[in-house]
Amino acid sequence: MEFGILFLKILEAYRVSFSICLMRRSSKSNSLRQLDTGCSIGYQRVGENITKGVPDMHEAIDCYREVKPGMYGRLGEAMEGCNKWPSDPPNFKDLMEEYVNLCTDLSSKIMRGIALALGAPMDVFEGNRAGDPFWVLRVIGYPVVHHANGQEMPKTETDVGCGAHTDYGLLTLVNQDDDITALQVRNSNGEWISALPVPGTFVCNIGDMLKILTNGEYESTLHRVINNSPKYRVCVAYFYEPNFDAAIEPLDTCVQRTGGTKKFDSAVYGKHLVSKVLTNFVM
């Protein structure tokens, strides 16, 4: 039953997000932009997001779990501020908040499954690791890179909807169009393979923090987006993250499972996120 409700929410979030992207494109409004902080809450125009020095061919609305002033001291300062939810349609904020709650619940269940698969206690990812998880929600629109007559534009770096990267937290739930194949993941042979859309499902990516926690047993998924279809593509990506101030290091169980040597130093999640956001995902 729970999944049934989630499924309906997936569809509704998709539908509303799609209309927002279309609205934004037609009105050319940039009223959601937050210009007064280095943080990227709100609307980003096509090409404003940069991955490894190359502008991404997408536009997006970014929302974060709210960091209230002083909540995490200096660590959280760059992320302080309210989300810029679109006011039209009027139920956008409520719907997306409900969607976030459902995704958070589902992700914590997936993390419990992963804990058991690793032979660790079911709640190993809770408490001061991810008992109070941070989250990020991105509604992303990828414009068409074909000419109207279907002829392909010259292949340049700028055709890339989103350059190759790994996500920085624990898990990502990608809610993509049913009829456009654009997301690609790199497999262990170094080949790019398409993550074919399966209606009513998420693609679930592993992020950098889960790689550290598992001492590399779970690899963070290298992925990219190339929208070669003749249609505007929409994706709603939900990022499930550790506690903002969590110091993440390999779990003892995972160090033992992977040869007894810690492969990663401890990393404070919030610091990792802020460095990514402030450098516009250069790394």
Ligand X SMILES: O=C(O)CCC(=O)C(=O)O
**∠ at Cα 277 (274, 283), nearest 5°?**
100
Task: Pick what 140 binds: ligand X, Fe ion, none; C-beta below 5 to 8 Å, kind-dependent.
Answer: ligand X
Pairing of strands 203-206, 171-176: antiparallel
Task: Please identify, using beta-carbon distances, which residue of 125 and 202 lies nearer to ligand X.
Answer: 202
Q: How far is the CB of 233 from ligand X (least distance, A)?
A: 7
Q: Which helix (H) or strand (E) holds 8?
A: helix 2-27
Q: How far is the CB of 53 from ligand X (least distance, A)?
A: 17
Task: Please identify, using beta-carbon distances, which residue of 24 and 224 lies nearer to Fe ion.
Answer: 224
Task: Pick what 211 binds: ligand X, Fe ion, none; C-beta below 5 to 8 Å, kind-dependent.
Answer: none
Q: What are phi and psi of 122, to 5 degrees?
A: -55, -30
How far from the centroid of its chain's Cα atoms is residue 228's Cα? 21
Query: According to the binding rule CB under 5 A, does residue 208 interact with Fe ion?
Result: no
Query: According to the binding rule CB under 6 A, does residue 174 interact with ligand X?
Result: yes
Task: Pick what 176 binds: Fe ion, ligand X, none; C-beta below 5 to 8 Å, kind-dependent.
Answer: ligand X
179-198 residues near ligand X, rule: CB under 6 A? 183
How far is Cα 9 from Cα 208, in angstroms, rounded to an integer? 27
216-275 residues near ligand X, rule: CB under 6 A? 223, 225, 235, 237
> What does the buried/exposed string (b/e) look like for 103-132 if buried means 16 or more CB atoms within 10 Å of the residue's CB?
bbebbbebbbebbeebebeeebbbeebbee
One of 9, 24, 138, 272 touching ligand X (CB under 6 A): 138
Task: Pick what 107 binds: ligand X, Fe ion, none; C-beta below 5 to 8 Å, kind-dependent.
Answer: none
Task: Please identify, using beta-carbon distances, which residue of 9 and 138 lies nearer to ligand X.
Answer: 138
Transcribe 39-83 into DSSP letters: S--EEE-TTTSEETTEE-S-EEEEEE--B-TTTTGGGGGGGBB--
Q: Three-state SS for 26?
A: helix
Query: According to the binding rule CB under 6 A, does residue 162 interact with ligand X?
Result: yes
Task: Please identify, using beta-carbon distances, which residue of 21 and 251 lies nearer to ligand X.
Answer: 21
Q: Using CB positions, name the residue nearest to ligand X.
A: 235
Q: How far is the CB of 149 from ligand X (least distance, A)?
A: 26
The identity of residue 217, as a single letter, is: E
Task: Pick what 174 binds: ligand X, Fe ion, none; C-beta below 5 to 8 Å, kind-dependent.
Answer: ligand X
Query: According to the binding rule CB under 5 A, does residue 167 interact with Fe ion?
Result: yes
**Token pair listed for 255:** 């160090």
Q: How far is the CB of 81 from Fe ion (least distance, A)?
A: 23
Task: Please identify, using beta-carbon distances, which residue of 24 and 223 lies nearer to ligand X.
Answer: 223
Task: Please identify, using beta-carbon distances, which residue of 118 and 195 lies nearer to ligand X.
Answer: 195
How far is Cα 199 from Cα 81, in angstroms, rounded to an integer? 35
Of 12, 41, 60, 40, whose CA–CA distance to 234 is shortest?
60
DSSP state of 31: T
Q: How far is the CB of 90 from ligand X (least distance, A)?
A: 26
How far is Cα 66 from Cα 80, in angstroms, rounded to an integer? 7
Using CB under 5 A as the criterion, which residues of the chain lie in contact with Fe ion when the complex forms? 167
Using CB under 6 A as the criterion, which residues of the chain lie in contact with ligand X when the complex forms? 138, 140, 162, 167, 174, 176, 183, 223, 225, 235, 237
